Structure 1
Amino acid sequence: MSAGTTHPVTAGLSREELVRAADRRGARQAAAVSVRVVSVIGGWYWVIFTVVAVSVVVGSVQFGSGLDQGVVDAQIGGSSRWFMMVLGTVVPAAYLRLHVAAGGTRRSLVTGTVRGAVVGGALIGLVTAVYTVGERALFGALDLTWSREYGLPVDGYAGIALTLLTEALVAATYYLVGAAISAGYYRLGMVRGTVYVLAALVPAALVDLASHTGVAALIAGLDNLPDGGTGVLLGLVGGAAAIALAAWLFSVPLRSVPLRPTP
């Protein structure tokens, strides 16, 4: 294409439309990065976790008296949140400079990261639900009684569906909490960034309470959390609110993060 020739895709577009198109493209790329990393790392995580969990269950039958609680439940209702927080701390911060250098904006990085967190969280929720079905089947095959202490108080297939939804909300929230922590340190420095961590952890506590899992639910006491239909409704609404709050806490410091040239 000769110099000065307009690309056919962008011909006739105003400057504002070009900016919006670039933002959409940047957001898609940022989302793809998050989803790709979560899929690869999360896939390996769950393969290793499943092997270990099966070994624990079978070993307890062979050498002990068996278990009366699921392995995931023994992790205070879910174990994916911690590696999701670590990935959230690392991936957006590592991608920021490349994203801006490629023509993206901080706004498109936030949008893409949130989308990636939601999609990645949905994948984690699906894997968790499938694992739960398999774990219950394994307990049944070994004549063990499977029970769950943590999670929204619904049994059967409805409980499995809720496990998918709540774990998706938990994983997405923790990914964005990690991103908010990293952005806070990047923008505010060590001292103020450490203070910002306290604010960034609020969505994590909120989604723990909403899903009846995690450290915050353990501290609050499961008996003190709402149950029945009210508990389910508050769980889903609270999880969505936790994602929104974590996304906002990520976007605030990122808006003015200084990018120093590479030496």
Structure 2
Amino acid sequence: MSAVVVTPAERDAFTARAHARAVRRVMRSVGQVMLVIGGVFWAIFLFVTVGVPLVVRQVGGVMGGGAMTGAEYAAPWFALSLGLIAVAALVVPHLAAGGTRRSLFTGALVAALAAGVAYGVAYALLLLVERALFGALGWEWEQLGSGLDAGGAWLVVTAAGEAIVVVVYALVGVAAQASYRTYGVWRGTALLLPGLALLVLVDHATRHGAFADAFGALGLGGDGAPAALGLLQALVVLALAAGWAWWQLRTLRLRPTR
């Protein structure tokens, strides 16, 4: 029986196909969690955004701002929790089936980017719905919460800022899950600090969320800075978050259960 000779080119092609399949499976698994459950999240906020003003109008009240402020604060933390959950459910079967840590990272990154874009667009559209409803009710609408001062381009900047923040939070969730898997409770908890720093930085860059409010209360909000500069800073933080997630997944090892 003659031996089958596999050339380096054939081996590389097979490896590339296997890697691409693994990436697609991770993208599909993580993306479904973040997009499907995220769809429920935004559907709830659509109901609240429309329902609360109608109830207030029914009882003779007037609102100056709507419920979408809550989405600004809640959506990134929701994405972080989904990043934790998705990787927790996927990591063992992925590695047991021969998947690599690189394909796990690549698939999770692409899924986080897709979720970020979807969440940013949903946030912007619901702001438009809220503003239109306030106009139909004869109320003045004001965008509450934090955000970059972008003038007439406020909608695009708001959507972009929301998208970047969501991606960073989701990647920090992925990294946190990996660090807990590798290092256990105590060291895994200590490794939350770099991730928390990334959350603070992206909130500060986009003037978005609770950490941005904390900076503003301390007089460190950076109000008046160009929106383009804030988005550029946020993209730098996103790159750092991707690097942090890659580092945690690259060193990932499964600890034996007790």
For residues 83 and 115 of structure 1, do their structure 2 counterparts lie closer, same or farther at Cα, with a shift above 3 Å needed?
A: same
Structure 1 SS opposite 2:226: helix
| Equivalent position of 1:177 in the other structure | 172
| Equivalent position of 2:48 in the other structure | 52
Using the TM superposition, give the Cα deviation of residue 11 of structure 1 relative to its aligned residue in structure 2, in angstroms: 8.7
Which runs of 5 or more structure 1 residues have no equivalent in the other structure? Answer: none
Question: Is the counterpart of residue 107 in structure 1 residue 108 in structure 2?
Answer: no
* Segments of 4+ moved more than 4 angstroms: 260-263
Instruction: Please list, as runs of the form range in 1=range in 2, the aligned pairs for 1:126-205 lying within 5 A after superposition.
Output: 126-149=121-144, 150-156=146-152, 158-205=153-200
For residues 242 and 23 of structure 1, do their structure 2 counterparts lie closer, same or farther at Cα, with a shift above 3 Å needed?
A: same
Q: Provide, for residues 132-189 of structure 1, a one-character-per-residue CA deviation record: whole Å limited to 9, x for no partner.
A: 1111000111111111242111244x21111211111111111111111111111111
For 2:165, the aligned partner's letter is V
Q: Say if 2:181 and 2:255, in contact at 8 Å, map to a contact too.
A: no
Using the TM superposition, give the Cα deviation of residue 77 of structure 1 relative to its aligned residue in structure 2, in angstroms: 3.6
| Equivalent position of 2:25 in the other structure | 29
Question: Is the counterpart of residue 120 in structure 1 residue 115 in structure 2?
Answer: yes
For residues 76 and 54 of structure 1, do their structure 2 counterparts lie closer, same or farther at Cα, with a shift above 3 Å needed?
A: closer
For residues 106 and 120 of structure 1, do their structure 2 counterparts lie closer, same or farther at Cα, with a shift above 3 Å needed?
A: same
For 2:58, the aligned partner's letter is Q
- CA–CA separation in structure 2 for the residues paired with 1:112 and 1:65: 48
Q: Which range moves more in the overlay, 212-221 or 22-31?
A: 22-31
For 2:50, the aligned partner's letter is V
| Equivalent position of 2:12 in the other structure | 16
Q: Provide, for residues 110-146 of structure 1, a one-character-per-residue CA deviation record: whole Å limited to 9, x for no partner.
A: 1111111001110111111111111100011111111
For 1:56, the aligned partner's letter is V
Q: Provide, for residues 217-244 of structure 1, a one-character-per-residue CA deviation record: whole Å limited to 9, x for no partner.
A: 010007643345x431222112212222
For 1:45, the aligned partner's letter is F
Structure 2 SS opposite 1:250: helix
Superposed CA RMSD in Å reads 2.5
- TM-score, normalised relative to structure 1: 0.87
Structure 1 SS opposite 2:143: coil
Number of matched residues? 254
Given candidates 241, 247, 251, the residue that maps to 2:246 is 251
Given candidates 77, 83, 87, the residue that maps to 2:78 is 83
Using the TM superposition, give the Cα deviation of residue 93 of structure 1 relative to its aligned residue in structure 2, in angstroms: 2.3
